[in-house]
Amino acid sequence: MIKKKTPVTGKTAVAPPPAMKAPAVKTAAKTITPSEKQLKAWEHAMQLFTQRKFTDACSDFREAAQGPASHIADKARSYLQICERQSTTPKLDLKTAEDHFNYGVSCLNARDVEAASKHLERALALAPKGDHILYTLALCRGISGDGDGACENLKRAISLDPRNRILARQDPEFTALVPQFPGLRSLLGNDGY
């Protein structure tokens, strides 16, 4: 700091320090190595993969599969295959009531209740007296929280084949629904739940 006496007051004042020059910054662009590029593609692809954005992740996995690090390239190829399988939906050719019923059951097992309901309804439209379809549709309705729909469909299934009442009493999935829906309890005749 530089001290100077001011002519007006005669007091010593502190002058600001002289402006310092900033050091020269080199702005040379950093080149990205193929290994770094591969790693960035891998990391981005994995982010997309965990977000279940399989179609978007494919291009990054392809890029990572072309990189120089073989362990990353091998993993990228494996994940690419998974993404390609997940992003392509197979075309279903469901024609009969049994086709729709079987597909509806697989959807219900996967707890895709909306798709299960759609295919079970289609199966029922094709085979209105299918007691097994009504039974499964009753279960689907119950799982989705529709107690009235569950009761209505199970009642119809029992009217077509009384053995459905015994099956429902022994079915663990219906057993789990009975406490939630009093109509099912009375329909199955099990008040001891």
The closest alpha carbon to 100, from 55, 75, 132, belongs to: 132
Q: Taking residues 21-37, what's their average pLDDT?
A: 70
Q: How much of the chain, in percent, has pLDDT values that exceed 90?
A: 61
Q: How much of the chain, in percent, has pLDDT values that exceed 70?
A: 82
Q: Is the confidence at residue 97, as pLDDT, over 70?
A: yes
pLDDT at 91: 72
pLDDT at 98: 95
Separation between Cα atoms, residue 96 and residue 127, nearest integer Å: 9
Distances (CA, A) of 38 to 54, 59, 65, 109, 153: 18, 12, 8, 39, 56
- CA-based end-to-end distance of the chain: 90
Q: Give the residue with greater pLDDT, 3 vs 101.
A: 101
Q: What is the pLDDT of the chain when averaged over all its residues?
A: 85
The closest alpha carbon to 86, from 119, 56, 66, belongs to: 56
Separation between Cα atoms, residue 16 and residue 131, nearest integer Å: 95
The closest alpha carbon to 35, from 73, 77, 68, belongs to: 68
Q: Is the confidence at residue 54, as pLDDT, over 90?
A: no
Separation between Cα atoms, residue 8 and residue 6, nearest integer Å: 6
The DSSP secondary-structure symbol of 52 reads: T
CB-CB contact of 107 with 116 (8 Å): yes
**Number of C-alpha atoms within 13 angstroms, CB side, residue 100?**
21
pLDDT at 193: 40
Separation between Cα atoms, residue 52 and residue 56, nearest integer Å: 9
